[in-house]
C-alpha cells in the first residue's frame, strides 16, 4: 500500500516536473503537493494558488483538460474562460486555483465549515505561499478555523520568495509555523523537498482534522527553481542559492530513496518518466487540436438559471 502511494506520488511528481506552457511554474516544489495529496480522499477539498498546477495534478487533475485550459481551448477545464490561474475540478474536490494571493484561505475554511455542518468526515486542505502570510485573509481564515475547530489543514509552501520579496521582508516573526501558537493550533515545519517527510506530517494533520480535532498549520520549506513567472529570470536571487537548492531536487531525492530502499528500480522510474513524458506531449497535442470557444460563449455561464 505505501509503495503504491509512493508510486502515485512519484508519477505525479514527475508529471509536475514536466508541466509546460504555464505562467507560474511549480518546478522544485513538487514534493509538497504530492506528499500532502497522497493522503487525501477524492471527496476531500483543496484550495490552490496562482501556482496551482502541482496541486491540481496531485489531487488527480487530468493533464489534457489542464493543458487545453492553458491554451484557452473549449476542451479545457474551464472551457477556456479561466486559464492557468483558475483551473478547478469540483468532482475531484479541487475548488480552484486563485489569482488573488491569500483568497483561498477563507474559502477553504468555508468548505471545512460546510463539511462540519453536514457532520461529514471530509476535510479541506489549503495551499498557500509564504507571500500570503501577511494577508488579512490568512489571519481571518486561520483564526476562524481555529475558533470553530474546523477540519482544515493549512499548508504554507515557503519557497523563500514572493516575486522578488524574501520571506523575512514579508513576514514578521521567526516562521509561519510559529504562528500556530498564536491561534492555539499545531504549527509544524517540514522539509518541503522530502516527499516522505511531508507525507508523514500531512498524514497526522489530515487525520487530526478528520477526527474533528481542528486545523493544523504546516510550513513546507522549499524553493522555486524557476522565476516567478515564465517571464522572470529572477536576477534578484544569488546563483549559489539556486544551485544549493537544485542539489535538493525533490525528484532526485525521491529516486535515490526508491533505489536504495529497492522500492522501485531505476528502470521502473525511467519507465514512469517516459510514460509521463508521452502523456504530457499527448496533452499538448490534445490542446492544440482543440478549438477555441465560440464568441457567443462570452456571456454564457455568468449566471445559473
Ligand X SMILES: Cc1ncc(C[n+]2csc(CCOP(=O)(O)OP(=O)(O)O)c2C)c(N)n1
SS3 194: coil
Residues within window 121-150 making contact with a copy of itself, judged by CB under 8 A: 133-140, 142-144, 146-147
Which of 257, 199, 34 shows the shortest CA–CA distance to 188?
199
SS3 62: coil
Residue whose entry in the numeric block shows the C-alpha cell 486561520 = 142
User: Is residue 301 at the binding interface for a copy of itself, with CB under 8 A as the rule?
Assistant: no
User: Is residue 212 at the binding interface for a copy of itself, with CB under 8 A as the rule?
Assistant: no
Q: Indicate left, alpha or beta for 294 from its phi (over 0: left) and psi (-120 to 50: alpha).
A: beta
Work out how close the CB of 146 gets to a copy of itself at its nearest, in angstroms, rounded to a whole number.
Answer: 3
97 binds, among Mg ion, ligand X, a copy of itself, none (CB under 5 to 8 A by kind): none
183 binds, among a copy of itself, Mg ion, other proteins, none (CB under 5 to 8 A by kind): a copy of itself
Q: Is 236 a catalytic residue?
A: yes
Work out how close the CB of 217 gets to a copy of itself at its nearest, in angstroms, rounded to a whole number.
Answer: 11
Catalytic annotation, pick one of 2, 236, 278, 292 = 236
User: Number of C-alpha atoms within 13 angstroms, CB side, residue 171?
Assistant: 24
Work out how close the CB of 179 gets to other proteins at its nearest, in angstroms, rounded to a whole number.
Answer: 14
297 binds, among Mg ion, ligand X, other proteins, none (CB under 5 to 8 A by kind): other proteins
Report DSSP state, residue 4: H
Closer residue to other proteins (CB): 200 or 292: 292
All three cell numbers of 85, joined, read 490561474
Question: Using CA atoms, how far apart are residues 102 and 75, in angstroms rounded to an integer?
Answer: 29
Q: Is 224 a catalytic residue?
A: yes
Report DSSP state, residue 94: B
Work out how close the CB of 96 gets to a copy of itself at its nearest, in angstroms, rounded to a whole number.
Answer: 21
Supply the residues annotated as catalytic: 224, 228, 236
Amino acid at each position: 500500500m505505501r509503495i503504491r502511494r509512493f508510486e502515485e506520488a512519484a508519477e505525479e511528481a514527475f508529471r509536475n516536473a514536466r508541466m509546460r506552457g504555464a505562467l507560474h511554474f511549480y518546478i522544485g516544489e513538487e514534493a509538497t503537493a504530492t506528499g500532502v495529496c497522497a493522503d487525501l480522499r477524492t471527496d476531500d477539498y483543496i484550495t490552490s494558488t496562482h501556482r496551482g498546477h502541482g496541486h491540481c495534478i496531485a489531487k488527480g487533475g487530468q493533464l489534457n483538460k489542464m493543458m487545453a485550459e492553458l491554451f484557452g481551448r473549449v476542451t479545457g477545464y474551464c472551457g477556456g474562460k479561466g486559464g492557468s490561474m483558475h483551473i478547478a475540478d469540483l468532482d475531484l474536490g479541487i475548488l480552484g486555483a486563485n489569482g488573488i494571493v491569500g483568497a483561498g484561505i477563507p474559502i477553504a475554511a468555508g468548505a471545512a465549515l460546510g463539511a462540519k455542518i453536514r457532520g461529514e468526515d471530509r476535510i479541506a486542505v489549503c495551499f498557500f505561499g509564504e507571500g500570503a502570510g501577511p494577508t488579512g485573509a490568512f489571519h481571518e481564515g486561520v483564526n476562524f478555523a481555529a475558533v470553530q475547530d474546523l477540519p482544515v489543514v493549512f499548508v504554507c509552501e515557503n519557497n523563500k520568495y514572493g516575486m522578488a520579496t524574501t520571506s523575512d521582508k514579508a513576514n514578521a516573526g521567526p516562521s509561519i509555523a510559529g504562528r500556530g501558537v498564536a491561534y492555539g493550533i499545531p504549527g509544524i515545519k517540514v522539509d518541503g523537498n522530502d516527499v516522505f517527510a511531508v507525507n508523514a506530517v500531512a498524514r497526522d494533520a489530515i487525520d487530526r482534522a478528520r477526527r474533528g480535532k481542528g486545523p493544523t498549520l504546516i510550513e513546507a520549506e522549499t524553493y522555486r527553481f524557476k522565476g516567478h513567472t515564465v517571464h522572470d529570470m529572477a536576477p534578484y536571487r544569488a546563483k549559489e542559492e539556486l544551485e544549493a537548492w537544485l542539489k535538493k531536487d525533490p525528484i532526485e531525492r525521491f529516486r535515490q530513496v526508491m533505489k536504495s530502499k529497492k522500492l522501485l528500480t531505476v528502470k521502473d522510474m525511467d519507465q514512469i518518466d517516459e510514460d509521463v513524458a508521452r502523456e504530457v506531449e499527448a496533452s499538448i497535442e490534445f490542446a492544440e487540436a482543440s478549438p477555441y470557444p465560440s464568441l457567443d460563449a462570452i456571456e454564457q455561464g455568468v449566471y445559473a438559471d
